[in-house]
Structure formats: C-alpha cells, structure tokens
Structure 1
Amino acid sequence: MSVIMMIDNPHGSQEIYERVAAGRTLPIGGSVHLAGPGPHGGWRVIDVFDSEEEGRRFVRDELAPALRAAGAQGPPPPVEFWPVYRCVTGVPA
C-alpha cells in the first residue's frame, strides 16, 4: 500500500534542501515529491512511496548520509508515515 512520508524539519532551509537534492530524481519506490517552507519555519518535505519500507530505506540509506554531507546539524528530523487513500495530480505548481 502506498504511503505518505512527511519530514518537517524545523532547522531545515532551502539552501540545505538544494544541496541535498542537487542532481537527484525520485528515489526507488517514490512517486511524488513536494518540498517547501514549513508553516512555522524550517523546511517540509512530503513524498509518496510504494511502501513504508521503501520510505524508511530511502531515509536510512540515502537521505541521512546526504544530509550529513550537506552540513545539516543536529539529529535527523522525525519522519511520519500514513496510508494514501487518494492521490490526484494536475498541473504542477
């Protein structure tokens, strides 16, 4: 079952996001990626993965090392997962 993964990083920024995302495409198991400023500051990323296992593998094997390489400070931000009930897309923002 597809899942939504949200990372709401209060210490994140567009600058760190750009360093981490440079040259990357959707990871294996990923189908949707959204990123932007969080509603209370920081940086928020929302992805849709084929399964929670794919999302956790991405965080562990790709994202965590990329954040360290980009100079992100502190512990990794918490990751939330929940099932996708419906996903509708249209013209990109």
Structure 2
Amino acid sequence: MAIIAAFDFPEVTRAQYEEAVDRLTGGAGLNAPSDWPVRGLVLHAAGPTPDGGWHVTDVWESREAFEHFAAVLMPILQEVGIPTAPPLICEAYNVVT
C-alpha cells in the first residue's frame, strides 16, 4: 500500500535542500522519480514554509520502499546540517498522478 511521508524542517534553507538533493542524486538533480537512489518514489513536492523553513511531501509505493530511502537519506541530512525529526507517515487513500 502506498504511503505519504510529510517532513517539516524549521529553519532549513533552499540551499540546504538543494545540497541534499544533489547528494541523493549524484548531482543529477531531481527530474523524475527514477532519479532517486532507491525505487518506489511516486511523487515528491518541496517548498518553503511561511515561517522560513522547508516542507517536503513524498508519496512512496510502500512503507518498505520509504524505509530503504530513509536509510540513504538520514546520513545525508546530517552531513548537510538538516536536523531530523520523524516524518508524519500515513497510508495513502488516493493518489492521482
């Protein structure tokens, strides 16, 4: 079953987000779900929050796919200086692409 993972990163900058994406994708950027280092990403949306932080919402094909991604992501976030907190995770009732 697909899941939604929502991350709120207070005080994280666009530059930090872009650095994390560059490290995740080997500098190729994010142009398609297949650019991520693990398979299973359905949708990725990210943007600045009104309070000066950053928000990311992903949809993954399964919790297992997300957990594989998290194992790659967490060390990169630490290297870039992005504080980590557990995301809000819920089952996706409906996904439209």
Common fold, TM-score beyond 0.5? yes
Query: Which structure 1 residue ranges, 4+ long, deviate > 2 Å from structure 2?
Result: 38-41
Count of matched residue pairs = 86
Which residue of 1 is the match for residue 94 of structure 2?
86
For 1:64, the equivalent position in structure 2 comes to 74
Structure-2 separation of matches of 1:7 and 1:73? 12
TM-score, with normalisation over the residues of structure 1?
A: 0.78
Residue 35 of structure 1 aligns with an amino acid whose one-letter code is A
Select the structure that is richer in helix.
2
CA RMSD of aligned residues (A): 1.8
Which amino acid in the other structure matches residue 15 of structure 1?
A
Give the distance between the partners of 2:14 and 2:64, measured in 1 at CA: 27
CA contact (8 A) 2:11 2:53 kept: yes
Question: What residue ranges of structure 1 are gaps of 5+ in the alignment?
Answer: none
Q: What runs of 5+ residues in structure 2 fail to find an aligned partner?
A: 26-34
Q: What TM-score do you get using the length of structure 2 for normalisation?
A: 0.76
% same residue: 33
Q: Is the 8 A contact 1:20 1:66 kept in 2?
A: yes
